Structure 1
């Protein structure tokens, strides 16, 4: 078992200088995370160059019209391919321990959400810490995903690969009862702080005090020698939202959609006009169709009556007093729809997401063409599988260390991104195999994972594995071509 945490061995509080700066850094990072979530959810407010246009759209109720959101596709198209098949370890005796950790922390549900948040925000964290009994012995392990708006890690300036510390901060109460809590995590101890009321930016005016109100010490030893936070990120040192390049096209699309909707009423019900002839004699028989009080036809305006203007196709309307009638043309929808399509293409180009992910209504393309178009997407997914897989491996290794185990060779198995499931693709693979390419390479190109391939080849009768092929060749040494078996 891991070294028990002795509450009597309380380290000194040394992080006050770090605390305020780290807290402000956490606050400074929040607006960009909030912006990323707004764009992902299609809730960003549109800005208009003309205040009059903004007032008109408000009048029509279009200022609150839901966004025609496409930006989220730049995140979903990548994270939907991050399928974690399994986490395995060379020592089979630890398989049950891994299963217990996964079940106790609902990792089958939490890990996909964590990786999705890492794509949406650019950063996400996994906090790993022991569950202890009253004696301080580790009886379990907590693996808790944390939002980058409440937690942030900090790296060494000298060596950016070394995580120096982490902060977690949240608020309780409001106004007069507002309390800001903050925990600092170091490689050797954890510090717990609190601040009554809103924290001022000036460190000299801040009044941070150690938190001991729950009966626990303000400083807790960390016997594991590392910061218990694991950083899932799309870039270094801090991540970038996968849809950040979709922000501009999304704003343009929102503006086009709202402006187009403002003209739809005029396309459905055109606005008409009639030009009066000042020299016309208005005593004609059609006056009752236009005069509000019907002075000459004897028909009451309160009762329905037959109009003298017949709507039959061959009818002729005699309009006394009017020189010309007509209607105003509504805005041409092509002025909105053509730029709309162009901005969708711009979003696909800017985010390096295949266009068919944004628009599936186009012509069907072959499997090979689709794979070529998806190649940049596959490369990005595999890059994240490598980065997230390394972080997840370290997370599990630390969790097992907390439980007193010494894990070796933890393997993260992902569902392959590339897969071939069309006839043309398999025919190409068959030709490759007939040309001498081994089956394990063929299966790998088809998109199957290495564990399944090894199992199939091991159980397939008469199948040569790559290690057996050289032995076959050696057994034929010294045999003439005529003597070799067919």
Structure 2
């Protein structure tokens, strides 16, 4: 067996746990953490019902602005139409590009597989989870992909088997483990054939006719990404603990724990020492021995407790002892993840206009960085798709929606001020979130805006053409 196989299997399995943790925090599946085993045993099940997932917010804040606006083939409208009609639309990429960008932010990595479709003249574009798939780069630069691998489990005749496929620029190698054997040892694996030649002979390895890897890597960093919300793990644990503990004590807010202090020196206690049923029936209640109790519930009723020295109740925990620290941890999460605080508090005072632009500046910069990181692999995906369709050497441009959108009146006032100051209207509107295609449809060009300053430098009316036949004016001092 090739060394690439065991290396790929080992790396994918070792990376699995970190990706699973990232998924758990995004989905809100992380339980409350306990330092004391006894407390864990007592209240862990109760706490599992109280989950407030804030850790997904840093991911969603970026993903919601990470939207592909258009993909075009540079200088070729006909090829752009092919890309739109035979790749984008059949693979539902308006929805899927947004979903797969979200997965790349959630895990730090996501993979896209591109290959021939089931029918001739079609292309399939398929998402692959980083929990099963990985691209391996050269050790020197950590940038040039050498091969890709996908590892997964299947059930065959009630037995678990492992499958692994290695993708190279010139071939595809498929492997399967022997029934009942694990994936760690080379002896477990044997070649797997699913393709037959025209003569009916097994084909192994399969030929990759396209000369490049059919697997593409969406990532937030190099060589492998980092979950967008990784710095939110700690604050989320603290928030979960504070809120779960506070809600566990809520019953004591509505139903305080009460007590009665008995005095052994007092003779003739209620029902002569028999146990009392503390019921609330209007007609009184009886204890286990059928003895009538004089205690009835109702407005203005007075309970006479013979043999009891004092009664009282335990004060429940103040909710502020839990909610105030939870709010503090939420602010820590906003700070550590470079996510504006108003994304965590949508019901609070929201910044607007210039204040919002300033508050969102770190998020905007992060979105722009992610756009830069993802533009190249997405362009590669579309160029490879066109290659499968027989279009070679196409250059695809990926256009994103602006990282900063204008959403309110103050924002539009700023746009108007930019135009008044001389910023071209097209540029100002692009910064406001409108695409180049929309501006083209509206006929808005790159002509500079006319401002009061530039207008003052221009004549208010056309100059008369020079009259060469007019006699020269005579200077006043020359007249008699």
Q: Where on the TM-score scale, by shorter chain, does this alignment land: which range? A: 0.7 to 0.9
In 1: Cα distance, 2:299 partner to 2:154 partner: 73
Aligned to 2:154: 172
Contact 1:289 1:307 (C-alpha < 8 Å) held by counterparts: no
The within-5 A match list for 1:284-323 is 292=276, 307=294, 312=299, 318-323=304-309
Name the CA distance, whole Å, in 1 between partners of 2:94 and 2:417.
39
- CA distance in structure 1 between the partners assigned to 2:431 and 2:81 by the alignment: 32
List per-residue Cα deviations over 1:401-448 (Å, max 9, x = no partner).
122213534222222222224332333332333333322232233232
**2:390 is matched with which residue?**
404
**Distance in 1 between residues matched to 2:322 and 2:459, nearest whole Å:** 77
Q: What is the SS of the residue equivalent to 1:181?
A: strand
Work out whether 1:465 is the aligned partner of 2:447.
yes
Output aligned runs, 1:223-242, within 5 Å: 223-242=209-228
Give CA-to-partner distance per residue, 1:327-371, whole Å, 9 cap, x none. Answer: 111112111111111111111111111111111222233232122
Mapped pair 1:198 → 2:192: no
- 8 Å CA contact 1:193, 1:218 repeated in 2: no
SS of match in other structure, 1:340: helix
Native 8 Å contact 1:368 1:425 kept in 2: yes
* Structure 2 unaligned residues grouped into runs of 5+: 197-201, 279-283, 465-480
- Partner Cα distance (2:277, 2:245) in 1: 40
- Using a 3 Å threshold, how does the CA distance of structure 1 residues 77 and 428 change in structure 2: closer, same or farther? closer
Where do 1:41-56 residues align within 5 Å?
41-56=27-42
Aligned: 1:370 with 2:340: no
State the partner residue of 1:155.
Answer: 137
Structure 2 CA distance, aligned partners of 1:139 and 1:242?
Answer: 38
Equivalenced residue count is 445
Matched, 1:249 2:232: no
Whole-angstrom distance in 2 between the partners of 1:321 and 1:310: 20
Task: Write the distance in 2 (CA, Å) between the matches of 1:332 and 1:418.
Answer: 42
Q: Is the 8 A contact 2:9 2:184 kept in 1?
A: no
Partner secondary structure for residue 188 of structure 2 = coil
Distance 1:464 1:356 in 2: 35
Shift of 1:453: 3.2
TM-score by length of 1: 0.82
Contact 2:261 2:310 in 1 (8 A): yes
Q: Which aligned segments of 4 or more residues in structure 1 are displaced greater than 6 angstroms?
A: 302-306, 479-483
Question: Which residue of 174, 193, 209 corresponds with 1:212?
Answer: 193
Aligned partners of 1:140, 1:235: CA distance in 2, in Å? 32
CA contact (8 A) 1:246 1:351 kept: yes
Distance 1:139 1:292, change over 3 A: closer
Instruction: Give the equivalent residue in structure 2 for 1:382.
Output: 368
Rounded Cα–Cα distance in structure 1 between residues aligned with 2:277 and 2:350: 63
Give the CA RMSD over aligned residues: 3.2
Q: Distance in 1 between matches of 2:76 and 2:364?
A: 32
Whether the aligned pair in 1 keeps the contact of 2:231 and 2:333 (CA below 8 Å) is: yes
Shift of 1:394: 1.0
Distance change (3 Å), C-alpha of 1:277 and 1:416: same
Q: When the two structures are superposed, what TM-score results if normalisation uses the length of structure 2?
A: 0.83
